[in-house]
Amino acid sequence: MNRFPTFTVCAPGLEAITVGELAKIGVSGNPTHGGVNASMTMAQLMTANLRLRTATRVLVRVARFPADGFVTLAEGLAKIDWHPWLLEDTQVDVTVSSSQSKLYHTGAVQERVLDALGVGTVGPGQVVSVRIIRDEVTVSIDSSGEALHKRGYRQATAKAPIRETLAAALILASEWDRRRPLLDPFCGSGTIPIEAAMIARRMAPGRNRPFAFQRWPQFDAAAWTRVVAGADADVIDKMPVILGSDRDEGAITASRSNAVRAGVAPVFTHAALSEIVAPAPVGWLITNPPYGERVAGGDLRDLYDRWKSLMGEGAFAGWHLSLIAPHDALTRRLGHLDSALRTTNGGIDVDVLRRPQPETAAVPAV
């Protein structure tokens, strides 16, 4: 069974979660900044694209060689067999990055790569990535196409939406017990409840979108059908109570339409934080709250103080809390929170912050 080196790209900070996801599909990964190095079979590559919730894309490393000038660059490129990866009429988009290397002119490197391809035409399509660090060239083929956060369901958006891959990472990092209720009181376009419902029902996030590997000459349609059938067979109908609410009525409309496209059914309600009723004594409140960086508004301190009251002595006193936000004075108003991981959201440095369920609130699972 042929295997090839891969690099699964993810947002910095999510590497450990992505490693865990890869392990569940039988791939042993080595995390590094911004991704995971691994070795995959073609079936595993297909499965990774279909099933990974926190990855941005999966690259295949087709070549690695030293090059300190255009002569050695051309020699290394000439040894690459492009035919398994590119059809003759494929449009090719070559991206180049260079750091601490003699080949610093990325435009000139791109021209040499295009000359060496021998197949395809220039244009948006199959991405060939060339990365040069300290005169070491790595050439990769993108197997994903559009970034993997584009599941296909989120066509209606609210203000400052959280990326689907980050929402999934937040849910997974929360250690949510999938038998318990989950609530997002600032649900926006519904991404967190929808991703939670897909996780609970074991639905493959890439089920309703195409991938770049489907256009490769070596693509095995029968093998892909088996991979998809296996993912479909894992889906279950049972789902705990999953709720989303927002004070913006337009956001609730967007959430409901996105959920229909995703094939899941969280319950979305138009309500302010103070109007929300806890559906059970114990559950998980998981959210991407407003924190004054990307959403216009007034002073948020009163909102956070009311939120703390709900979590301390109110209806949600027995609930776990997980949120993604800057770990600053505003979030510290909620009390002591542990940082599970650090990443970025919309270019802002954020933490996944957690407050475990109080010990005194333990209730048997339902």
pLDDT, tens digit, 9 for 90 and up, residues 45-84: 999 999 999 999 999 999 999 999 999 999 999 999 999 9
d(CA 276, CA 183): 10
User: What are 119-132's pLDDT values in tens digits?
Assistant: 666 778 899 999 99
Residue 365: the pLDDT is 38
d(CA 65, CA 134): 11
User: What are 130-150's pLDDT values in tens digits?
Assistant: 999 999 999 999 999 999 999
Asked if the model's pLDDT at residue 157 lies above 90, the reply is: no
d(CA 8, CA 37): 7
Q: How many residues does the chain have?
A: 366
Which whole number is the average pLDDT over 12-39?
A: 97
Q: pLDDT class for 363, splitting at 50, 70, 90?
A: very low
Q: What is the DSSP letter of 156?
A: S
Dihedral of CA atoms 258, 264, 267, 272 in degrees, nearest 10, equals -40
- For the chain, which domains are there? 4-142 (3.30.2130.30), 164-201+236-361 (3.40.50.150)
d(CA 335, CA 325): 14
